[in-house]
């Protein structure tokens, strides 16, 4: 027994190297006490033990290893005594010890101690900690070293007085960008423009290849397999990395609590009769919800008020704004939006009938964002009901909504049972046709000759669809045109003829023409040639005729909402002011950018030309400002 206890008389270093685990345990305890009593990081005591550190952490005895890896104490000592050393070897070995601790799956404690070191008063310690974090991230990757944990403290160091600290911090941020990509850019929005420019320049220099860890935790180390090299070569170096989820801005952002920031008068304004007050309430909420990540909470009251605006508000602009807010909340809550998803999607289905493009885009975004938090099974009944809706717009948009869901699904997630439930209503929607009654309202301004030609080609196409030959179709079209009753003469068109004769002379000519012999008619080929020729150019600019929906969208984009509201105001002074503003904007606009059709349609809005007030009605002479540029299309719109 005396021989077994002889190791107690040995010095600390020899105890650490002793064969008996009890001796090594006592040696580790003595070493920790010895390190804590040193007042200077330049003490030679540390140099004596640096070479033994690696043996300590890989001790074969579990109890001895536990004593050797007093992680917080050792890491704290390395941070305060080694990382600020003037000797490069000491600093390198200190960082290597920290990396060994990370390899032994103590990365959280190591990063915590290094983050504490970032607040040290000595710049050397701060620089050493930043370098250690950069090295750890470069070797182990973002799964081991949390970028979210490190980023906030690193951004603070960009304002440090020491230039070395700032430069090392910038390099650490560049390394974070190498792993996280553009996901960290929203976190950089609070920096100075100069700093952002410098970082963007460094980001552009990074290689496009995806980073791969070069050092692993003990549990992640690849097993030594003789066939491992062949498997790796077959799969490629990055196949396993491609399947890993990527960091995004949502994962790096801190949640924001907006429920406490909503003012008390919001609930009154959102129910107000004046649309301006409702818009004011929505604008405030839109600014609050414009964040990356929202804190979990009870959003039922807020979302109910927004869904009510989407479903029942008569102002279409407020409907679009409310849909945009709902999309922001859904994207910021993600899975937390699940309790409100189905009611939101139902409201969006009902509003798919809207024709205004800007509003329709907002409703689509709200439906897509809400769908991410629920499964397709839970929406099955609502989707089928919308696909069978009488409104063709709702059917079309619901089918597009379903197609966007299918595009994100795989063979595993989209099973045959779910697919079969949607096939029948989708096939029914695919049978929708544009009939003659849908097109006829757009053909009212076409003269009878051209209208007959359209009908002729329509009948020809219908016969070809039934399987008849082209010759039979032509014959049928000819016979139908011969058998058709005579077409009533079209209304006379009035033309202004320069140097025309008086009405009496014209009447005399008409009478004389009755007695005169008939003029020889031209052959049909010549007439057809004249008809098919392009009309002579009259020098007037041409403009494409827009539909009602396109015009409404362009008016909203081109002019402010306040101007549109003033033109329809019940106060004549506001209408007069709006006319003056419109006239000034037209006179200052380049001719090539001026759309006469757009301005004419804007002036025809209620009350427009029917304005009862003589002052504001007189100011409709704004039309004369651009009469020199008026196109035929614009004249047709005005008339």
Tens-digit pLDDT profile for residues 465-511: 565 544 444 444 444 444 444 444 444 444 444 444 444 444 444 44
Contact 634, 603 (CB under 8 A): no
Q: pTM value?
A: 0.59
Ranking 169-178, 222-231, 606-615 by mean pLDDT, the lowest is 222-231
Please state which CATH number belongs to domain 548-638.
1.25.10.10
Distance CA 615, CA 602 (A): 18
Distance CA 588, CA 236 (A): 62
Per-residue pLDDT at 434: 63
pLDDT > 90 fraction of the chain, expressed in percent and rounded = 39
| pLDDT grade for 392, boundaries at 50, 70 and 90 | confident
Distance CA 351, CA 312 (A): 10
Per-residue pLDDT at 478: 45
pLDDT tens string 297-348: 999 999 999 999 999 999 999 999 999 999 999 999 999 999 999 999 999 9
Ranking 421-430, 444-453, 597-606 by mean pLDDT, the lowest is 597-606
Distance CA 583, CA 602 (A): 12
Alpha helix stretches (DSSP H) within 206-315: 228-235, 239-242, 249-252, 266-269, 275-288, 300-312
pLDDT exceeds cutoff 60 at 99 = yes
pLDDT tens string 1-25: 445 677 776 877 777 777 777 787 7
Q: Check residues 395 and 61 and name the one with the higher pLDDT.
A: 395
Q: Check residues 361 and 583 and name the one with the higher pLDDT.
A: 361
259-430 folds as 1.25.10
The single residue listed with the structure tokens 């300590």 is 56
> Considering Cα of 598, then 601, then 607, then 612, what sign does the dihedral take?
positive
Q: Where exactly does CATH 1.25.10.10 map onto the chain?
A: 70-218, 259-430, 548-638
Q: Is 40 exposed, middle or buried (0-12, 13-18, 19+ CB in 10 A)?
A: exposed
What is the token pair recorded at 560? 């402010």
Contact 187, 155 (CB under 8 A): yes
User: Which range among 76-90, 287-301, 407-421, 455-469 has the greatest average pLDDT?
Assistant: 287-301
Q: What single-letter DSSP state applies at residue 274?
A: S
Ranking 59-73, 131-145, 184-198, 273-287 by mean pLDDT, the lowest is 59-73
Helix (H, G, I), strand (E, B) or coil at 27: helix
The single residue listed with the structure tokens 């710049």 is 123
Write b or e for each residue in 487-498: b if 16 or more Cβ atoms lie within 10 A of its Cβ, otherwise e.
eeeeeeeeeeee
Distance CA 159, CA 151 (A): 14
What is the token pair recorded at 229? 């090299």
Per-residue pLDDT at 156: 93
Alpha helix stretches (DSSP H) within 107-185: 107-117, 123-140, 147-157, 163-180
Per-residue pLDDT at 80: 84
The single residue listed with the structure tokens 């050792």 is 74
**DSSP annotation string for 483-500:** HSPPPPPPPPPP---TTP
Pick the CATH number of 70-218 from 3.40.50.1110, 1.20.120.1630, 1.10.10.60, 1.25.10.10: 1.25.10.10
What is the token pair recorded at 118? 């970032």
**Residue in 399, 451, 459 with CA at minimum distance from that of residue 427:** 399
């Amino acid at each position: 027994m005396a021989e077994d206890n002889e190791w107690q008389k040995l010095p600390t270093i020899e105890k650490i190297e002793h064969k008996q685990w009890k001796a090594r345990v006592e040696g580790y305890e003595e070493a920790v006490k010895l390190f804590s009593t040193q007042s200077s990081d330049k003490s030679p005591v540390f140099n004596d033990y640096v070479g033994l550190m690696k043996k300590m952490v890989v001790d074969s005895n579990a109890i001895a290893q536990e004593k050797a890896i007093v992680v917080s104490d050792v890491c704290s000592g390395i941070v305060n005594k080694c990382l600020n050393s003037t000797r490069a070897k000491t600093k390198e070995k200190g960082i290597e010890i920290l990396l060994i601790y990370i390899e032994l799956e103590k990365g959280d404690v190591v990063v915590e101690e290094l983050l504490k070191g970032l607040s040290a008063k000595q710049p050397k310690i701060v620089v050493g900690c930043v370098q250690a974090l950069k090295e750890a991230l470069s070797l182990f990757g973002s799964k081991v070293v949390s970028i979210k944990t490190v980023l906030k403290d690193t951004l603070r160091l960009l304002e440090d007085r020491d230039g070395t600290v700032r430069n090392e911090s910038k390099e650490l941020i560049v390394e974070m960008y190498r792993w996280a990509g553009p996901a960290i850019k929203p976190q950089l929005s609070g920096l100075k423009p100069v700093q952002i420019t410098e970082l963007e320049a460094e980001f552009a220099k990074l290689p496009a290849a995806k980073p791969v860890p070069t050092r692993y935790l003990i549990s992640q180390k690849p097993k030594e397999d003789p066939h491992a090299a062949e498997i790796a070569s077959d799969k490629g170096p990055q196949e396993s990395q491609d399947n890993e989820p990527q960091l995004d801005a949502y994962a790096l952002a801190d949640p924001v609590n907006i429920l406490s920031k909503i003012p008390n008068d919001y609930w009154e304004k959102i129910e107000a009769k004046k649309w301006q007050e409702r818009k004011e309430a929505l604008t405030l909420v839109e600014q609050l919800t414009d964040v990356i990540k929202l804190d979990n909470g009870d959003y039922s009251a807020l979302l109910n008020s927004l869904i009510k605006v989407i479903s029942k508000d008569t102002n279409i602009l407020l409907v679009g704004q409310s849909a945009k807010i709902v999309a922001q909340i859904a994207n910021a809550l993600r899975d937390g939006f699940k309790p409100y998803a189905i009611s939101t999607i139902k409201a969006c289905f009902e509003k798919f009938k809207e024709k205004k493009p800007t509003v329709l885009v907002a409703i689509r975004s709200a439906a897509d964002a809400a769908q991410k938090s629920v499964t397709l099974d839970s929406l099955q009944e609502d989707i089928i009901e919308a696909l069978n809706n009488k409104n063709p717009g709702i059917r079309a948009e619901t089918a597009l909504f379903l197609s966007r869901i299918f595009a994100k699904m795989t063979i595993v997630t989209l099973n045959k049972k779910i697919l079969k439930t949607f096939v029948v209503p989708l096939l029914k929607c695919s049978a929708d046709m544009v009939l003659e009654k849908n097109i006829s309202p757009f053909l009212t301004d076409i003269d009878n000759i051209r209208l007959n030609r359209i009908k002729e080609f329509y009948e020809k196409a219908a016969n070809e669809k039934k399987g008849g030959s082209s010759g039979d179709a032509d014959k049928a079209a000819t016979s139908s045109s011969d058998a058709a009753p005579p077409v009533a003469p079209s209304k006379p068109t009035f033309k202004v003829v320069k140097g025309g004769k008086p009405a009496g002379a014209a009447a005399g000519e008409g009478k004389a023409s009755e007695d005169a012999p008939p003029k020889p008619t031209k052959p049909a080929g010549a007439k057809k040639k004249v008809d098919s020729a392009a009309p002579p150019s009259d020098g007037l600019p041409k403009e494409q005729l827009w539909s009602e929906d396109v015009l409404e969208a362009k008016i909203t984009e081109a002019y402010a909402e306040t101007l549109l509201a003033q033109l329809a105001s019940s106060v004549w002074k506001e209408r007069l002011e709006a006319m003056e503003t419109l006239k000034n904007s037209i006179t200052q606009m380049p001719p090539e950018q001026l759309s006469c059709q757009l301005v004419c349609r804007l002036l025809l809005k209620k009350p427009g030309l029917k304005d009862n007030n003589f002052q504001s009605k007189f100011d409709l002479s704004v039309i004369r400002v651009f009469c020199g540029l008026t196109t035929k299309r614009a004249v047709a719109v005005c008339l």
